Every structure is written in C-alpha cells, then in structure tokens.
C-alpha cells in the first residue's frame, strides 16, 4: 500500500481521531451484541495508540438511524464491550460533535480512549457535509481511518475529515488493502474463487477484474440461477436478474477466452418457497421443477467444488452458495466453510454474509483472513478507488 499508516506519524500525546467500523449486529430484544468481531478487528490500532500515550477518540456509526437519534442504536453497549476486551475503561460521549464533546476530549489523559456517539444520528454524516467534517476534525490533531468496511463511502467521517487533518491508515485498513490487493497482484496459483450471494449485478466489476488472474471460478448462491439461465438451463421460479442474463453470457465468454474455468452447480436443492418451514429436495440441474426455487447447491456440486479447493494454493470466497440464513439451505455453504481450515492454501473470506457464516461456525481464526468489508471489498477488487483510501496521505517517494 502506498499510503502512510499510523506507524509513519508521531502520535505520542496527540489527540488521534480514529474512524472505526463498530457497526456490529445487536439483538433487537435484548440489546446485546451478538458478534464482536469488528470490535476485535480494531484492537491492534487502538492498542498501538494507547501504548504510545496518544489520546484516542473513536468515531463510528451503528445501523441506519437516518439522521435521527435512535436509543437502540446508541454506542454505549459497544463501549462496554470494548472496555472488556481492551482491558481498560472506554469513555462514552453524549454526542459526536459540539462544545460538550470538545470538553470531554480536552479532559482525556495520555492513553485514554473515548468513543463518541453514533455518527449517523446526524444526517450530515452520510451527505458528506464539509461543516460536519470540520466539526469532527476540531476534536483531533491526527486522523486515522481504520474502517475499511465503510471506506467505499464518501461520508464526512471517511473522506471529509482528511481534508482538515493529516490522515493516515490504521493497521486494519492497511492489512485489508495489502491482503486483498495481493489477490490481484501476486496470488499463488492455482487460485480459486467462490462467488455466491443473491445478485450478479453486485459482483460484475469484481468478476471482470479478477478474470484471467484466477484459475477457477466456482459459482453458487442465488446468482448461480442467472448464470444457469444464461446457459439455457431451466431454473423454475428461482429469482434471477433478467437484465443480467446477457451480462452472465458475456462473463462466461470472458472466462473461456481468459483461460479461467467457470464451474456452475451440477445439482441443487430446490423448494416450493424460501422460508423457515420449507422442505428441500436434491435434483440434478437438468431436472429443476418448473414450480420450485433453487435454494442451495447439492452434494455432487459440493464434492466438485471440494476437489477444486483441495488443489488450490489461494482461495477467495465472497457470498454464500445457498440461502445460508435458513438452516435447511445452509448445508452447501457450511460444508465448504468447514473444509477451509484443513487446506494447504491461503484462505481469504470477503466479508459480509460470508464472514458471518465463518464467525458463526467458529472458524474465523482458522482461515488466513476474514475481511471486515463486504461492499468495500467488492468495489476494491472490482478495481474501483475507495474514497476513504484515496484521501489518505501518500508515502514519500523513496
């Protein structure tokens, strides 16, 4: 990465404003955090700063309050969890800008950590308001972006603050860029990618950009139905993106011309509907009933994918290969996930719902890397510039 990081700047005694991604899942009934992996992912940067006696001011969003104060989306529970895993008390501010917050920041001592209130309680955050960015910037001497998962947004706290403070990358952001960038620049071959999830349209840029760099593409999930339709298979009542069938045809053609093998399911699990009460049955891909939907890949496809993965040196996975949030349609995704730790390959999971499956199965520490950014990793691997990265200081030319 050619951007300066927190290691390249003096932080001792400074007020360091750190954009983190603490947008963690919260149980609507109890208010309890159900997965703290994003909080833990920020620990290396936070500890780096506290160990060097910086005064650390953390800023984050949580959920989609749409510019209004929503009590269930306050960040106090996040501060409590961070206090537990950091091993020191983390303060909580009543807001994220304003005189009262500025007073709280001024009372910080070296090594202290303060978490400001939800940025998205202010509509100016998502509109990228310069005034809101300036108000945030007044709180710090240095800005550190460690929120890779939100770096594809040109929000005030992502790209805006960098216009008013020296801006560098945190250790998580650096790791994300270097790991995902390595997939495009120098992957160890054979390189296999698994692509799933509902939509082809979300992944067109990434598929185009990775084509020719990857040896084998394994396609599952809802998007497989669109690819199967492009190959003239009957897919019953499966949801397909009709306007992407032509795109899928072109991607299949691009794979052939670039020497990338593109493998589609040979059998699938189908059901009358996609619901908790639905029952699935396995059918050959040539025998999908006209009145049923594809909900998962079948056992023959799992075995075919397994053979490819076992022969790989680099694996990148983005998107479940079935409707993984429903237990009876999660088998294909979970079977592939459980396979990863035993492989002699670099195994990289591209964030979003795939990361949630890996975390739920307790496999996060058994794969090489789990990205914290779903949308951000899609855009980055699709060759797009991320506003939150572009805005950081460049490393001096050597």
Catalytic residue flag (residue 103): no
Residue scoring higher pLDDT (34 or 137): 137
**109 compared with 377, residue with greater pLDDT:** 109
User: What pTM was computed for the model?
Assistant: 0.91
The model's confidence at residue 397, banded by pLDDT at 50, 70 and 90, is confident
Question: What integer pLDDT is reported at residue 18 of this predicted model?
Answer: 98
- Residue 276's CATH number: 3.40.50.1260
> Which pLDDT score, from 0 to 100, does residue 375 have?
85
The reported pLDDT for the residue numbered 31 is: 84
Q: Are residues 344 and 198 located together in one domain of the fold?
A: yes
Sorting pLDDT into bands at 50, 70 and 90, what band is 35? confident
Q: Is 329 domain-assigned?
A: yes
Q: What is the pLDDT of residue 170?
A: 98
Give dist(CA 303, CA 308) in Å, integer.
9
Same domain, 160 and 233: no
The question of whether 38 is a catalytic residue gets the answer: yes
Segment among 47-51, 218-222, 376-380, 390-394 with least mean pLDDT:
376-380
The pLDDT score that the predictor gives to residue 368 is 95
Residue 369 scores a pLDDT above 80: yes
Say whether both 220 and 111 belong to one domain. Answer: no
On whether residue 393 sits in a domain, the answer given is: no
Which residues form the domain of 350?
187-381
**Catalytic member of 47, 138, 199, 300:** 199
| Residue 368 belongs to a domain | yes
DSSP state of 296: E
Q: Residue 138 phi/psi, 5° resolution?
A: -60, -20
| Stretch 28-38: mean pLDDT | 88
Please classify residue 99 by burial: count the beta carbons closer than 10 Å to its beta carbon, then call 0-12 exposed, 13-18 middle and 19+ buried.
exposed
Identify whether residues 359 and 222 lie together within a single domain.
yes
**Residue 182 belongs to some domain of the structure:** no
Residue 398 has pLDDT above 80, yes or no: no
On the question of pLDDT at 184 being above 90, the answer is no
Closest Cα partner for 324 from 358, 369, 286? 358
Q: Which of 196, 185, 149, 188 is nearest to 170 (CA)?
A: 149
Whether 35 maps to a domain, the answer reads yes
How many residues would you count in the chain?
398
Same domain, 91 and 225: no
Domain boundary among the residues 133, 153, 174 is at 174
Q: What is the mean pLDDT of the chain?
A: 95
Q: Each residue of 229-281: pLDDT tens digit?
A: 999 999 999 989 999 999 999 999 999 999 999 999 999 999 999 999 999 99
Instruction: Indicate whether 211 and 271 sit together in one domain.
Output: yes
Give domain status of residue 62, yes or no. yes
41 to each of 61, 78, 212, 298, 358, how far by Cα in Å? 16, 13, 32, 34, 15
The active-site residue, picked from 3, 14, 19, 38, is: 38
Report how far residue 57's alpha carbon sits from residue 15's, in angstroms, rounded to the nearest whole number. Answer: 7
Residues 242 and 366 in one domain: yes
- In the predicted model, what is the mean pLDDT of residues 153-181? 97
Q: How far apart are alpha carbons 120 and 110 in whole angstroms?
A: 28
Residues 224 and 325 in one domain: yes
Say if residues 318 and 196 touch (Cβ distance below 8 Å).
Answer: yes
Asked whether residue 264 is assigned to any structural domain, the reply reads yes
**Same domain (yes/no): 147, 191:** no
Say what the pLDDT of residue 154 is. Answer: 96
Which residues 6+ apart lie within 8 Å of 345 measured at CB?
309, 312, 313, 314, 315
Within this chain, do residues 124 and 241 fall inside the same structural domain, yes or no?
A: no
Residue 353 binned pLDDT confidence (cut-offs 50, 70, 90): confident
Domain count of the fold of the chain: 2
Are both 212 and 149 inside the same structural domain? no
What's the token pair of residue 334? 């979970």
**Domain identity same for 315 and 166:** no
Q: Which of the residues 63, 182, 205, 375 is marked catalytic?
A: 375
Q: Which positions ≥6 away from 362 have C-beta within 8 Å?
A: none
Last residue of a domain, one of 174, 205, 240: 174
The answer to the question of residue 195 being in a domain is yes
Indicate if 352 belongs to the active site.
Answer: yes
- Could you report the per-residue pLDDT of 259-271, keeping only the tens digit for each? 999 999 999 999 9
Is the pLDDT at 324 greater than 90, yes or no?
Answer: yes
Domain end position, chosen among 174, 204, 227: 174
Predicted confidence (pLDDT) per residue in 281-302, tens digit: 999 999 999 999 999 999 999 9
The answer to whether residues 225 and 269 touch, using CB atoms and an 8 Å cutoff, is no
CA 241, distance to chain mean position in Å, is 23
- The predicted pLDDT at position 373 comes to 86
What is the rounded average pLDDT of the residues 116-137? 98
Selected catalytic residue, list 220, 352, 373, 388:
352
């Amino acid at each position: 990465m050619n951007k300066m990081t927190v290691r390249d700047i003096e932080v001792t005694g400074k007020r360091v404003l750190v954009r983190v991604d603490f947008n963690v899942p919260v149980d609507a009934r109890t208010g309890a955090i159900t997965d703290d992996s994003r909080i833990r992912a920020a620990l290396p940067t936070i500890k780096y700063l506290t160990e060097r006696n910086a005064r650390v001011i953390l800023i984050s969003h949580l959920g989609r309050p749409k510019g209004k104060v929503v009590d269930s989306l306050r960040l106090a529970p996040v501060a409590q969890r961070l206090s537990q895993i950091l091993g020191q008390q983390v303060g909580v501010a009543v807001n994220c800008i304003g005189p009262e917050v500025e007073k709280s920041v001024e009372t910080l001592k070296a090594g202290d950590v303060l978490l400001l209130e939800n940025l998205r309680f202010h509509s100016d955050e998502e509109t990228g308001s310069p005034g809101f960015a300036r108000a945030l910037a007044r709180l710090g001497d240095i800005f550190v972006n460690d929120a890779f998962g939100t770096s594809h947004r040109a929000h005030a706290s992502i790209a805006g603050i960098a216009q008013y403070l020296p801006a560098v990358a945190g250790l998580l952001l650096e790791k994300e860029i270097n790991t995902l960038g390595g997939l495009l620049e120098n992957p160890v071959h054979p390189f296999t990618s698994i692509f799933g999830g509902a939509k082809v349209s979300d992944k067109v840029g990434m598929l185009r950009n990775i084509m020719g760099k990857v040896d084998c593409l394994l396609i599952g999930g809802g998007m497989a139905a669109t690819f199967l339709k492009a190959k003239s298979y009957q897919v019953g009542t499966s949801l397909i993106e009709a306007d992407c069938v032509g795109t899928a045809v072109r991607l299949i053609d691009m794979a052939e011309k670039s020497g990338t093998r593109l493998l589609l399911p040979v059998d699938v699990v189908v059901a009358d509907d996609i619901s908790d009460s639905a029952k699935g049955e396995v059918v050959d891909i040539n025998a999908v009933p006209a009145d049923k939907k594809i909900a998962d890949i079948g056992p023959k496809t799992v075995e075919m994918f397994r053979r490819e993965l076992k022969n790989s040196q680099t694996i990148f996975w983005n998107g479940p290969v079935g409707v993984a949030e429903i237990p009876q349609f999660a088998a294909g995704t979970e079977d592939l996930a459980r396979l990863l730790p035993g492989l002699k390959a670099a195994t990289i999971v591209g964030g979003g719902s795939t990361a949630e499956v890996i975390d739920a199965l307790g496999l996060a520490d058994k794969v090489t890397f789990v990205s914290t950014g779903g949308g951000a990793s899609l855009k980055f691997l699709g060759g797009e510039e991320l506003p939150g990265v572009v805005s950081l200081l460049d490393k001096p030319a050597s």
